[in-house]
Amino acid sequence: MAWNVFKFCTALRGLGSIMILLVLAVVGVSYYAVVITNYGPALAAGGLDTLQALAVLILFHCLLVMLLWSYFSVVFTDPGSVPSSWRPTMDEERGDSDPLTTSEFQSDSKSRGIRYCRKCNQLKPPRCHHCSVCGRCVLKMDHHCVWVVNCVGALNYKYFLLFLLYTFLETSLVTLSLLPHFIAFFSDGDIPGTPGTLATTFLAFVLNLAFALSVLGFLIMHISMVAANTTTIEAYEKKATPKWRYDLGRKRNFEQVFGTDKRYWFIPSYSEEDLRRMPALQGLEYPSKPDMSPQEF
Protein backbone atom coordinates (compact mmCIF):
# COMPACT_ATOMS: atom_id res chain seq x y z
CA MET A 1 0.00 0.00 0.00
CA ALA A 2 1.39 3.37 -1.02
CA TRP A 3 2.27 5.75 1.77
CA ASN A 4 0.22 8.95 1.76
CA VAL A 5 2.61 11.77 2.46
CA PHE A 6 -0.25 14.11 3.34
CA LYS A 7 -1.10 12.03 6.42
CA PHE A 8 2.35 12.91 7.68
CA CYS A 9 1.32 16.56 7.74
CA THR A 10 -0.89 15.94 10.76
CA ALA A 11 2.24 15.07 12.73
CA LEU A 12 3.34 18.69 12.39
CA ARG A 13 0.64 19.69 14.87
CA GLY A 14 2.69 18.05 17.60
CA LEU A 15 5.50 20.52 17.00
CA GLY A 16 3.34 23.41 18.22
CA SER A 17 4.61 24.03 21.73
CA ILE A 18 8.11 22.88 20.79
CA MET A 19 8.49 25.50 18.07
CA ILE A 20 7.13 28.28 20.28
CA LEU A 21 9.54 27.30 23.03
CA LEU A 22 12.39 27.23 20.51
CA VAL A 23 11.60 30.78 19.37
CA LEU A 24 11.42 31.96 22.98
CA ALA A 25 14.71 30.16 23.73
CA VAL A 26 16.50 32.02 20.92
CA VAL A 27 15.03 35.29 22.20
CA GLY A 28 16.15 34.42 25.73
CA VAL A 29 19.72 33.62 24.67
CA SER A 30 19.91 36.87 22.71
CA TYR A 31 18.50 38.86 25.60
CA TYR A 32 20.96 37.36 28.05
CA ALA A 33 23.92 38.00 25.75
CA VAL A 34 23.01 41.59 24.84
CA VAL A 35 21.33 42.96 27.96
CA ILE A 36 22.56 40.93 30.92
CA THR A 37 26.10 40.08 29.84
CA ASN A 38 27.37 42.91 27.66
CA TYR A 39 25.42 46.16 27.31
CA GLY A 40 23.58 46.19 30.62
CA PRO A 41 26.80 46.38 32.67
CA ALA A 42 28.20 48.92 30.19
CA LEU A 43 25.63 51.47 31.36
CA ALA A 44 27.77 52.06 34.44
CA ALA A 45 30.97 52.59 32.45
CA GLY A 46 30.34 56.26 31.78
CA GLY A 47 31.17 58.39 28.75
CA LEU A 48 30.57 57.19 25.20
CA ASP A 49 30.30 53.57 26.31
CA THR A 50 27.20 54.44 28.33
CA LEU A 51 25.60 56.32 25.43
CA GLN A 52 26.33 53.48 23.03
CA ALA A 53 24.95 50.90 25.45
CA LEU A 54 21.84 52.98 26.07
CA ALA A 55 21.17 53.35 22.33
CA VAL A 56 21.61 49.61 21.72
CA LEU A 57 19.38 48.66 24.66
CA ILE A 58 16.56 51.05 23.70
CA LEU A 59 16.53 49.89 20.08
CA PHE A 60 16.85 46.24 21.14
CA HIS A 61 13.84 46.40 23.46
CA CYS A 62 11.69 48.33 20.95
CA LEU A 63 12.35 45.79 18.21
CA LEU A 64 11.86 42.92 20.65
CA VAL A 65 8.42 44.20 21.67
CA MET A 66 7.35 44.52 18.02
CA LEU A 67 8.81 41.10 17.19
CA LEU A 68 6.94 39.32 19.99
CA TRP A 69 3.75 41.29 19.35
CA SER A 70 3.83 40.32 15.66
CA TYR A 71 4.80 36.73 16.40
CA PHE A 72 1.99 36.00 18.84
CA SER A 73 -0.45 37.84 16.58
CA VAL A 74 0.36 35.32 13.85
CA VAL A 75 0.16 32.41 16.28
CA PHE A 76 -3.21 33.31 17.81
CA THR A 77 -4.99 34.97 14.86
CA ASP A 78 -7.21 32.73 12.78
CA PRO A 79 -5.96 32.95 9.19
CA GLY A 80 -9.51 33.00 7.87
CA SER A 81 -12.09 30.26 7.39
CA VAL A 82 -14.93 30.01 4.90
CA PRO A 83 -18.14 31.50 6.38
CA SER A 84 -21.01 29.02 6.38
CA SER A 85 -23.22 31.65 4.75
CA TRP A 86 -20.86 32.30 1.84
CA ARG A 87 -22.36 31.70 -1.60
CA PRO A 88 -20.94 32.65 -5.01
CA THR A 89 -22.63 35.32 -7.11
CA MET A 90 -24.31 34.59 -10.41
CA ASP A 91 -21.17 35.53 -12.36
CA GLU A 92 -19.13 33.19 -10.22
CA GLU A 93 -21.66 30.38 -10.70
CA ARG A 94 -21.10 30.58 -14.44
CA GLY A 95 -17.40 30.23 -13.79
CA ASP A 96 -16.66 33.47 -15.61
CA SER A 97 -15.02 35.23 -12.68
CA ASP A 98 -13.14 32.49 -10.87
CA PRO A 99 -9.46 32.69 -11.80
CA LEU A 100 -8.90 29.14 -10.60
CA THR A 101 -11.36 27.72 -13.13
CA THR A 102 -9.80 29.42 -16.13
CA SER A 103 -7.16 28.17 -18.50
CA GLU A 104 -4.44 29.80 -16.41
CA PHE A 105 -4.59 26.74 -14.17
CA GLN A 106 -4.17 23.42 -15.93
CA SER A 107 -5.50 21.42 -12.98
CA ASP A 108 -8.84 23.27 -13.14
CA SER A 109 -9.06 23.89 -16.85
CA LYS A 110 -11.68 21.16 -17.32
CA SER A 111 -13.89 22.52 -14.55
CA ARG A 112 -15.98 25.57 -15.37
CA GLY A 113 -18.22 25.34 -12.31
CA ILE A 114 -18.02 26.35 -8.69
CA ARG A 115 -14.95 25.22 -6.76
CA TYR A 116 -15.79 22.69 -4.08
CA CYS A 117 -13.60 21.12 -1.40
CA ARG A 118 -14.25 17.38 -1.12
CA LYS A 119 -12.41 17.20 2.20
CA CYS A 120 -14.38 19.99 3.89
CA ASN A 121 -17.58 19.32 1.93
CA GLN A 122 -18.11 23.02 1.29
CA LEU A 123 -17.77 25.65 -1.38
CA LYS A 124 -14.38 27.24 -1.91
CA PRO A 125 -14.17 31.00 -2.45
CA PRO A 126 -11.54 32.46 -4.77
CA ARG A 127 -7.95 32.05 -3.57
CA CYS A 128 -9.04 29.57 -0.91
CA HIS A 129 -7.04 26.36 -0.35
CA HIS A 130 -7.30 23.33 1.90
CA CYS A 131 -4.56 22.93 4.52
CA SER A 132 -3.65 19.30 5.18
CA VAL A 133 -2.10 20.21 8.54
CA CYS A 134 -5.00 22.26 9.91
CA GLY A 135 -7.57 20.04 8.21
CA ARG A 136 -9.67 22.90 6.83
CA CYS A 137 -9.91 25.42 4.04
CA VAL A 138 -8.06 28.70 4.60
CA LEU A 139 -8.91 31.97 2.89
CA LYS A 140 -6.15 33.32 0.66
CA MET A 141 -3.83 30.69 2.08
CA ASP A 142 -0.12 31.37 1.66
CA HIS A 143 1.40 28.40 3.49
CA HIS A 144 1.39 26.51 6.77
CA CYS A 145 4.29 27.72 8.90
CA VAL A 146 5.64 25.39 11.59
CA TRP A 147 7.46 28.33 13.24
CA VAL A 148 4.17 30.09 14.04
CA VAL A 149 2.22 26.82 14.47
CA ASN A 150 -0.52 28.20 12.25
CA CYS A 151 -1.56 28.72 8.69
CA VAL A 152 -0.65 32.03 7.10
CA GLY A 153 -3.71 33.35 5.33
CA ALA A 154 -5.87 36.38 4.67
CA LEU A 155 -6.26 37.57 8.26
CA ASN A 156 -2.72 37.09 9.59
CA TYR A 157 -0.52 37.53 6.50
CA LYS A 158 0.26 41.11 7.49
CA TYR A 159 1.31 39.95 10.95
CA PHE A 160 3.52 37.28 9.42
CA LEU A 161 5.28 39.85 7.21
CA LEU A 162 5.81 42.15 10.19
CA PHE A 163 7.19 39.20 12.14
CA LEU A 164 9.72 38.60 9.34
CA LEU A 165 10.60 42.30 9.22
CA TYR A 166 11.15 42.75 12.94
CA THR A 167 12.96 39.41 13.21
CA PHE A 168 15.40 40.53 10.53
CA LEU A 169 15.93 43.93 12.18
CA GLU A 170 16.32 42.42 15.66
CA THR A 171 18.71 39.65 14.61
CA SER A 172 20.75 42.13 12.54
CA LEU A 173 21.01 44.46 15.54
CA VAL A 174 22.11 41.62 17.83
CA THR A 175 24.64 40.43 15.25
CA LEU A 176 26.17 43.88 14.82
CA SER A 177 26.18 44.67 18.54
CA LEU A 178 27.88 41.37 19.40
CA LEU A 179 30.34 41.48 16.50
CA PRO A 180 33.11 43.24 18.51
CA HIS A 181 32.71 40.66 21.26
CA PHE A 182 32.76 37.85 18.71
CA ILE A 183 35.99 39.17 17.22
CA ALA A 184 37.48 39.55 20.69
CA PHE A 185 36.54 35.92 21.36
CA PHE A 186 39.22 34.84 18.89
CA SER A 187 41.80 37.45 19.88
CA ASP A 188 44.85 36.75 21.98
CA GLY A 189 44.07 39.34 24.63
CA ASP A 190 42.24 38.93 27.89
CA ILE A 191 38.45 38.82 27.53
CA PRO A 192 36.29 39.88 30.48
CA GLY A 193 33.61 37.50 31.60
CA THR A 194 33.20 33.92 32.66
CA PRO A 195 33.41 30.97 30.25
CA GLY A 196 29.63 30.68 30.48
CA THR A 197 28.97 34.28 29.44
CA LEU A 198 31.50 34.04 26.62
CA ALA A 199 29.87 30.86 25.34
CA THR A 200 26.45 32.53 25.46
CA THR A 201 27.73 35.53 23.53
CA PHE A 202 29.28 33.27 20.91
CA LEU A 203 26.08 31.21 20.58
CA ALA A 204 23.86 34.29 20.36
CA PHE A 205 26.03 35.80 17.63
CA VAL A 206 25.98 32.63 15.50
CA LEU A 207 22.23 32.06 15.93
CA ASN A 208 21.28 35.65 15.13
CA LEU A 209 23.58 35.80 12.11
CA ALA A 210 22.04 32.59 10.73
CA PHE A 211 18.48 33.84 11.34
CA ALA A 212 19.21 37.26 9.84
CA LEU A 213 20.50 35.76 6.59
CA SER A 214 17.72 33.20 6.25
CA VAL A 215 14.90 35.59 7.17
CA LEU A 216 16.23 38.16 4.67
CA GLY A 217 15.65 35.71 1.84
CA PHE A 218 12.07 35.01 2.95
CA LEU A 219 11.41 38.72 3.44
CA ILE A 220 12.55 39.61 -0.08
CA MET A 221 10.44 36.77 -1.54
CA HIS A 222 7.28 37.84 0.28
CA ILE A 223 7.78 41.52 -0.55
CA SER A 224 7.87 40.59 -4.24
CA MET A 225 4.67 38.55 -3.83
CA VAL A 226 2.89 41.40 -2.04
CA ALA A 227 3.87 43.72 -4.90
CA ALA A 228 2.25 41.29 -7.38
CA ASN A 229 -0.72 40.42 -5.10
CA THR A 230 -0.04 36.72 -5.13
CA THR A 231 0.60 34.02 -2.56
CA THR A 232 3.20 31.29 -2.29
CA ILE A 233 0.68 28.69 -3.45
CA GLU A 234 -0.51 30.81 -6.36
CA ALA A 235 3.04 31.61 -7.42
CA TYR A 236 3.72 27.88 -7.57
CA GLU A 237 0.48 26.85 -9.29
CA LYS A 238 -0.18 29.54 -11.84
CA LYS A 239 1.40 29.74 -15.25
CA ALA A 240 3.55 32.69 -16.25
CA THR A 241 1.00 35.14 -17.60
CA PRO A 242 1.48 38.73 -18.75
CA LYS A 243 -1.22 39.90 -16.32
CA TRP A 244 -2.27 38.22 -13.07
CA ARG A 245 -5.95 39.02 -12.59
CA TYR A 246 -5.51 40.03 -8.94
CA ASP A 247 -2.68 42.45 -9.68
CA LEU A 248 -4.22 45.86 -9.00
CA GLY A 249 -0.98 47.83 -9.02
CA ARG A 250 1.68 47.94 -6.34
CA LYS A 251 -0.04 50.57 -4.20
CA ARG A 252 -3.40 48.80 -4.03
CA ASN A 253 -1.73 45.39 -3.71
CA PHE A 254 0.12 46.71 -0.67
CA GLU A 255 -3.07 48.18 0.80
CA GLN A 256 -4.89 44.86 0.47
CA VAL A 257 -2.39 43.36 2.92
CA PHE A 258 -1.46 46.29 5.17
CA GLY A 259 -4.61 48.41 4.92
CA THR A 260 -5.03 52.03 3.86
CA ASP A 261 -4.30 53.70 7.20
CA LYS A 262 -0.57 54.46 7.30
CA ARG A 263 -0.60 54.62 11.10
CA TYR A 264 -1.23 50.87 11.22
CA TRP A 265 1.18 49.74 8.54
CA PHE A 266 3.97 48.72 10.91
CA ILE A 267 1.94 47.36 13.80
CA PRO A 268 0.05 44.02 13.85
CA SER A 269 -3.40 45.59 13.86
CA TYR A 270 -5.94 47.18 11.52
CA SER A 271 -7.94 50.38 11.73
CA GLU A 272 -11.73 50.21 12.07
CA GLU A 273 -12.09 51.43 8.50
CA ASP A 274 -9.91 48.63 7.17
CA LEU A 275 -11.77 46.07 9.29
CA ARG A 276 -14.96 47.04 7.45
CA ARG A 277 -13.24 46.07 4.22
CA MET A 278 -12.32 42.62 5.47
CA PRO A 279 -14.47 40.70 2.94
CA ALA A 280 -12.12 41.80 0.17
CA LEU A 281 -9.08 41.22 2.38
CA GLN A 282 -10.29 37.71 3.19
CA GLY A 283 -10.54 36.79 -0.47
CA LEU A 284 -14.35 36.56 -0.42
CA GLU A 285 -14.65 39.16 -3.14
CA TYR A 286 -13.14 39.42 -6.59
CA PRO A 287 -10.64 42.12 -7.59
CA SER A 288 -12.01 45.60 -8.09
CA LYS A 289 -12.61 46.92 -11.56
CA PRO A 290 -9.90 49.22 -12.93
CA ASP A 291 -12.17 52.26 -12.78
CA MET A 292 -12.79 51.95 -9.03
CA SER A 293 -11.28 54.31 -6.51
CA PRO A 294 -7.74 53.43 -5.29
CA GLN A 295 -9.14 53.53 -1.75
CA GLU A 296 -11.44 50.56 -2.42
CA PHE A 297 -10.27 47.00 -2.34
- Amino acid residing at 7: K
**Is 145 a catalytic site residue?**
yes
Among the listed residues 23, 3, 139, the one whose alpha carbon sits nearest the alpha carbon of residue 78: 139
- Residue 297's Cβ-side half-sphere holds a number of Cα atoms within 13 Å equal to 25
Catalytic one of 128, 131, 137, 145: 145
Catalytic residues: 145
